[in-house]
Amino acid sequence: MADTSPLLPFSHSVDPGSTCSSIRWRSRKVLLLVFSGLFLVPLIVSIASNDNGFKQHVQYLQEDDQNVSLSPPKETTRPQMLRPGSRGVSAGVSEKANVNLKGAQVKGYPRNDSILSWQRTSFHFQPEKNWMNDPNGPLYYKGWYHFFYQHNPHAAVWGDIVWGHAVSRDLINWFHLPLAIVADEWFDINGVWTGSATILPNGKIAMLYTGSTNESVQVQNLAYPADHNDPLLLKWVKYSGNPVFVSPPGIDPNDFRDPTTAWYTSEGKWRITIGSKANDTGIALVYDTEDFINFKLSGVLHGVPGTGMWECVDFYPVSKTGQNGLDTSANGPHVKHVVKTSLDDVRKDYYALGTYDDKTGKWYPDNPEIDVGIGIMLDYGMFYASKTFYDQDKGRRVLWGWVAESDTEADDVRKGWASLQGIPRTVLLDTKTCSNLLQWPVEEVERLRLKGKEFNNIEVKAGSVMPLELDGATQLDIAAEFELDKKALDSTAESNVDFSCSTSGGAAQRGALGPFGLLVLADDSLAEHTSVYFYVAKGNNGTHKTFFCTDQSRSSVANDVKKEIYGSYVPVLEGEKLSVRILVDHSIVESFAQGGRTVITSRVYPTRAIYGAARLFLFNNAIEATVTSSLKIWQMNSAFIRPYSNEQ
């Protein structure tokens, strides 16, 4: 029997244990708080007396996004009638059909079934068939990792979105389960969109998700397991009073989605944030609740002008001192907080580190120059709509991210599936730089390693390419280190030329100190290859700045796929060698530089460098510097991913 009274208020406390000292913009913060206090009094009066108050405040938000305060709607009502949107941004977070080549006059490459079959990955999570996008509500429960995802069970294109469901003991090998939450009520009939899970202190689960209503309006709904004693969580119940809250006055109901995991506040309430925008300012709205049924809008966590719609917002703490993850409710002097958002306008995930004020419900970036949406990307490649969860079994924070296709929709339909999930990653604060996160594949992926081969102190001369003899190069785990010739580093002339991975010519453009790295998924003739490389630039002041890039421009001879050059600056500290770990799994290449300070995910579609024809090369396209490299490379087994049966 379903639990008809699933959720009650609970007490909850977390006291995290601390090397990074906080980077605080104290004067800015004090001024903001003072000004906020002066501003909020008339604002509250204005909103209480006039529904236009919020609209007026939206205009003010463009001038000072830090001091936003919103009044809650007086009651939950059915949203106004809207016409369903066409396939595009207006349809919301879950509509992410391949539009990379829309309108382009490109003749399709004649792929056969063998080429298309090779593209399916072997140790990354994918449904058995059809479309997948955002990760939803991941959690660890009664010995199982649960993964929910946006899924079209009927076709390999976006549409008919419901929640797929799979379980695992180790985050690598998975059992597919029946659909978890389907579109069958007026409040989600046009789509069961993205949401998050909160595990309450008594072990019960509150699942909040965005529903697209019969009028194509985005509302927030509650679901919970029919039987909390079922470790597989096979059946879910939707709260009969859904939606539990709707968009407030002044917020477009089509810009209101993706509730986060809740955290417990010092005032004894649960708090979530949800993505939205005010004009062109991306914002994260804050709601408080005691029972996950009654929600009160309490303000804005943060906002950044010019960043557009914030979707799939994530908010979580990281430790300044430890190497473990933290419960989402953790706070205190030894904690930094991460705000991550997926920018709907550009389809990239950005994050920033900062300080969270539990009393005011606001978050302040350590460095406003690299604020959310204008600073550091979580991943510089094909990676979006990411979501983390706290794994209480192993004391770690784990990140999932959706990896879309960048070939044609026609190919997706022909092969019968589209999209995959990146390898789950642990997330920690980089306590050496104190300015960025470290992302790293979960340790369980190493259990797939088979035969390994080492290459030590290989000298790669300037302008050369060197093959690495392997039994196969389609499924690999590569760990590599590089050292530039010190003489060349010291003697290279200084330059005032700015370098950019995306605009500086890719791996073929030669400089004094790079590029150099690896050519993965290459054929013998190098007609096809994907370059993963470092580039070192020497500035006018004599200092060196290192960039980490992936060049897909020669990844395929097919001309109907997206072939971008991705990457960014990567911090390299005194005494560190340049290092990279690369996971190659057929059509996906995930690259982690300097222990995960900078990460790039690539989707590539070779037609020749497949099956036994795939090769791996070292290359050094620098003009002046010799590079010495040491590598360890493992062949990777396939993961066990199949439907669950009671016998298992």
Active-site residues: which are they? 134
257, 92 contact by CB (below 8 A): yes
Pairwise CA distance, residues 158 & 409, whole Å? 10
Pairwise CA distance, residues 385 & 402, whole Å? 6
Q: How many helices (H) and strands (E) does the chain have?
A: 5, 37
Q: Can you spell out the DSSP letters for 520-571?
A: EEE-TTSSS-EEEEEEEEE-TTS-EEEEEEEE-TTS-S-SSS---EEEEE--
N-terminal to C-terminal alpha carbon distance within the chain? 25
Going by C-alpha positions, the residue among 431, 316, 333 that lies closest to residue 17 is 333
Query: CA 289, 294, 299, 304 torsion: positive or negative?
Result: positive
Pairwise CA distance, residues 262 & 284, whole Å? 14
For 413, which DSSP code? H
What are the C-alpha distances in Å from 407 to residues 16, 27, 412, 560, 567? 45, 49, 8, 7, 20
Pairwise CA distance, residues 348 & 378, whole Å? 8
Length of the chain: 648
Report CA 82 to chain centroid distance, whole Å.
30
Specify the DSSP element, H or E, that contains 306: none
Alpha-carbon dihedral 496, 497, 500, 501, rounded to 10 degrees: -120
Burial class (CB in 10 A: 0-12, 13-18, 19+), 612: exposed
Burial class (CB in 10 A: 0-12, 13-18, 19+), 528: buried
